[in-house]
Amino acid sequence: MEGPAQDPVEETEQYHWPALESDPEIFTGYMNKLGMSIDWHICEIFGMDDDCLSFVPRPCVGVIVTFERTEDRDDGKPGDGTSSTLVPFYMKQTGTLDNACGIIACLHAIINHISDISLAADSILDKFKKDTADKTPEERASYLEEFKDFQEEHKSYASQGQTEAPTSSEKVNHHFVAFVKNSSNQLIELDGTKDGPAVIQDDCEDLLKGVATELQRRLAAGNITESLSMMALSKKA
């Protein structure tokens, strides 16, 4: 398996990706720098009630959620390891990418709606998408691990934010996942730690309401704590 034709960031030690703060401005700047169209942004979702959801710009093609899991949890379906037909793109979160769940969630949201979101030609995102199109979820993770240009941008944005960024070796309690709708109108959860994409709802009319309903279910069941945040991948108004 071949990775990107670049020198590794560190010759003697595997690069471990530091965590990102759940800040929509940081995520938007990061994704735009990587090549996402400036017509799109990542914005905060302030609550799960209808009034809060009504303020989210449309179209919204992805929801990125960060939450703290409880120890004994069943926080969703396990995922389908043979579900390549559910969505065009899914990648795994390896040990090296343990703290990179934020960027993996963004990749899941953006690349699965590439027909809506244009990428700058020859940008980092464009190269990643093209070079990993025929790879397995595990191979996509390996490719990202070795992608020097991507790593350099990640280090820059991981150092931003109001709170001190954890070191690359520190474990982070919060985890990012992405929710999208597929071509069959199913609500899909994309979590790189699972076996594959998971169908959360078979017939989802509204992405935002579908995600809110699922998170409220998990909160009521005690599967996740109230320490969560939601961001939308939306086209600018």
Domain spans of the chain, in order of start: 24-235
The answer to whether 113 is a known catalytic residue is no
Are 59 and 52 contacting, i.e. CB atoms less than 8 angstroms apart? no
Q: pLDDT band for position 14 (50/70/90)?
A: low
- pTM to 2 decimal places: 0.88
Predicted local confidence at residue 27, as pLDDT: 97
Q: Which CATH number fits domain 24-235: 3.40.50.150, 3.40.50.300, 3.40.532.10, 2.40.10.10?
A: 3.40.532.10
pLDDT of residue 85: 84
Burial classification of residue 157, based on how many CB atoms lie within 10 Å of its CB (0-12 exposed, 13-18 middle, 19 or more buried): buried
pLDDT in tens, 23-70: 999 999 999 999 999 999 999 999 999 999 999 999 999 999 999 866
64-120: pLDDT as tens digits = 999 986 665 555 565 665 556 899 999 999 999 988 999 999 999 999 999 999 999
In the residue annotation, 101 being an active-site residue is answered as yes
Which of the residues 41, 108, 154, 175 is marked catalytic? Answer: 175
Q: What is the CA radius of gyration of the chain?
A: 17
CA of residue 80 relative to chain centroid, distance: 18
Q: Which CA distances in Å does 225 have to 72, 144, 218, 232? A: 12, 30, 9, 20
Which of 41, 43, 60, 101 is an active site residue?
A: 101
Per-residue DSSP letter, 7: -
